Amino acid sequence: MSIRGLLIGVVLLGILAGGVYWSDRQKKAEDAKTAEGGATKLATIKEAEIQKIEIHKRDGAPTALERDKSNQWAMVAPQPLRVDQDAATGVASTYSGLNYDRVIEDKAADLSAFGLQTPAVEVTVTSKSGKASKLLLGDDTPTGSSAYAKLSDDPRVFTVPTSTKSSLDKTFRDLREKRLLIFDAEKLTTVALTAKGAPLEFGRNGAKEWQIVKPKPMRADTGQVEELVRKLGETKMDTAVPEEEVAKAPAAFASGTRVAVASITDSSGTQTLEVRKKGDDYYAKSSATEGIYRVAADSAEALNKPLESFRTNKLFEFGFEDPTRVEIRDGDKSYSFLKGGDKWTANGKAADPVGVQSLIDKLRELRSIKFVETGFNTPDLEMTVTSSNGKRVEKVSMAKSNVAKRNGDPTLYELDGKAVEEIRKAAADVKEPPPPPKK
């Protein structure tokens, strides 16, 4: 045989041997036996009993979490950081619920064949009693739906779902707290914002409703203030940024244009967030978290709003509460609608509830078309609504100029003349209830 032919034969033999090896390995993965009686449980520790979690990736520094005295997760390595409690609980829950798909070998002689000699990930869990358990996660199986795994004190090699592997394969960046402001929205007393125009401040009134405090007392659109609070709570560091870009964030922030400065206050104190823009990217610095981070554009732009975005143009605040009294004085005409039980009266006589409800709906939706500084003189129309079992009384007076004001509110509202005429007509159209149908 020629040397050339011999070399070709050697190459073909090597390819054939490799194919047999991988075929045999895949067959083992597919034909491996499950435990007797279907018992596939690997972990015996309950999630609540886990005191410490250490994750060591093949190509990175270990990440270690430990419960503190209040039973909250804290990061102790690679550095002390706040922890995303949901993310940490997810890791602990995954480990405590650990099951395997199949047993590949009862006693593997060569762990390197499964990527377990030098595992991709090692997860060590320590219980509150001090007992430790280590899970090794190796290569994915040839089919890609599972990964090879082994407990350090168990000679067997298993397969676990790749979802289990990805749930445990975490770095400190995955598990750290990513929110830049940490607060309970229900406990906030003050929110301040400096963005477009004069600085704004919002505070809660006696009914825990948001009001504008600065630049001067004004009624606030509660929904818009709550949306601002929600966006502040959702402003997070972008952990998908490459390490080299993370290092550039402080310089980008320093040279960027300020977008907004916001602060929130509760019983524990005040936290502040400043957002700046550099090019197309946004960067934020928080008093609650060390460092400067890139943040999502929608979170940044949600803070870049003027005063008008937070003012309410609704004339009445009773919302979807059921009023118990509605009074209209229209020039020399007056209407008084009073609710008793589930029935309405108009000036002492029975009134059609459908007509009264139509009037209430129009009052509920009455809005100004703009805020004005002048134009209110002698009232031509007065509308009073009593709700909350008599605790809330709202009175709106309107001049012939269609400029209106609320009692106790210096703001002037210009109304749409058509909407006002519909209210006048709805009040005049309330009739007595229709007679009951004949039997």
Name residue 271's beta-bridge partners: 264
The pLDDT assigned to 38 comes to 46
pLDDT at 5: 53
Kindly tell me if the per-residue pLDDT of 358 is higher than 80. Answer: yes
User: Which element (helix H / strand E) includes 363?
Assistant: helix 353-364
Which run of H or E residues covers position 244? Answer: helix 243-246
- Integer Cα distance of 83 and 125 in angstroms: 17
Confidence of residue 244 (pLDDT cuts 50, 70, 90): confident
Which band of pLDDT confidence, cut at 50, 70 and 90, is reported for residue 118? very high
pLDDT in tens, 268-302: 999 999 999 999 999 999 999 999 999 999 999 99
Element (H, E) at 111: none
pLDDT, tens digit (0-9, with 9 covering 90-100), for 364-401: 999 999 999 999 999 999 999 999 999 999 999 999 99
Domains of the chain: 39-175 (2.60.40), 185-310 (no CATH), 325-428 (3.30.1490)
Report the alpha-carbon distance of residue 49 to residue 44 in Å, rounded: 10
Enter the pTM of the model. 0.77
Instruction: Give CA angle at 371 (308, 199), nearest 5°.
Output: 35
**Rounded Cα distance, 239 and 284, in Å:** 13
pLDDT in tens, 180-200: 999 999 999 999 999 988 999
pLDDT surpasses 70 at 167: yes
